[in-house]
Amino acid sequence: MSRLDSGRTFLFVPGDRPERFAKAVAAGADVVVVDLEDAVAPEAKESARAAVVTWLGSLSSEAAAAVVVRVNAAGTPWHEADLEAVAGRAGAVMMAKAEAGTPLAAAGRRVPVIALIETATGALDARAIAATEGVVRLAFGSFDLAAELGIDPLDAQALVPSRGALVLASAAAGIAGPIDGVHAAIDDVEALTAEADAARRLGFGGKLCIHPRQVAVVDAVLRPSAADVAWARSILDATAVAHEGGVATVDGRMVDKPVIDRATRIIAAAARKEDA
C-alpha cells in the first residue's frame, strides 16, 4: 500500500517557497502537497513550477513518490503546463476543483490523481470522479464548497451530506477513504482534534494540513487506536480458529464478512512501521 493510499496527513507547502520544501518533508507528514494553485500569485506561477520541478529532480524516487503537486485547475492558462512538468516526477497531482469529465480523465491517464472536490458540481459528481481511471483518492475542499453553498465552513453538520458523498463514492470505487479539508485555525488544537475525529467517524482516512504543528495532532486522531487494533486482532484470530471448523464468535456475537473486512482494514492501517 502506497503513501497515497494509506496516508493520514497531507501537508501543504507553497510552490513559490522552495526554501520550505525540505522543512515540509521534515515535519513528518505522510505526504507533502506542493501547491501551485491558491498559494501562488499569477505572476509567480511559471517560476514556482520551475522550482518544484528542480526540487523533485533532487529527490530519490521513493521520496518523490510521497510528494503530490496541486496543479492549477483545468481551464486556467497554467493547467496543461503544470501536468506536463510534474507527470512522472511526483507521486501524484491534486486536481483543484475536480469535476467529472474530459480534463480529469485526461490527467488520470498521465499521472495518479487526488481529486479535490470543492464545488457543488464536483460533490454531485463524486461517484463518477472516484471511478475515473487514475484517480487514487478524493479530497474535500470545505471552504470553497461552503462559500458556493452559502454556509459556514466551520458548521460540521451543514457539510455532513457533502462529506458523506465522498465517503460513499470512495467505497463504491474501491479506493481509500477520502482526505478531509483544512482546518484554518492553526493554534486551536481542540477544534482541530474535534474536526479530525468527526471526519474519522464519517469514514475519512486522511486530512489536509496547512502547518507542521497540525501533523501530529491529526495523525494521533486518525491512526487506529490500541483498542481498535486489539479488537481487530481478536476478530481475525477467532476467524482463523473457525476455519478449522465452526462459526466464529467474539464476545457472544457472530463474526461475518463485513466485520472481518473492517478488522482487516484496521490491521492494514496499523501495519505501518510507526503504528506497530
Question: By C-alpha distance, which of 86, 153, 30, 194 is closest to 95?
Answer: 86
Q: Grid coordinates standing for 28?
A: 513528518
Do the annotations mark residue 188 as ligand-binding? no
Q: Is 70 annotated as a binding residue?
A: yes
In one-letter notation, the amino acid at residue 241 is V
Contact 158, 196 (CB under 8 A): no
Is 144 annotated as a binding-site member? yes
The binding site for Mg(2+) comprises 118, 144
The binding site for substrate comprises 70, 118
The binding site comprises 70, 118, 144
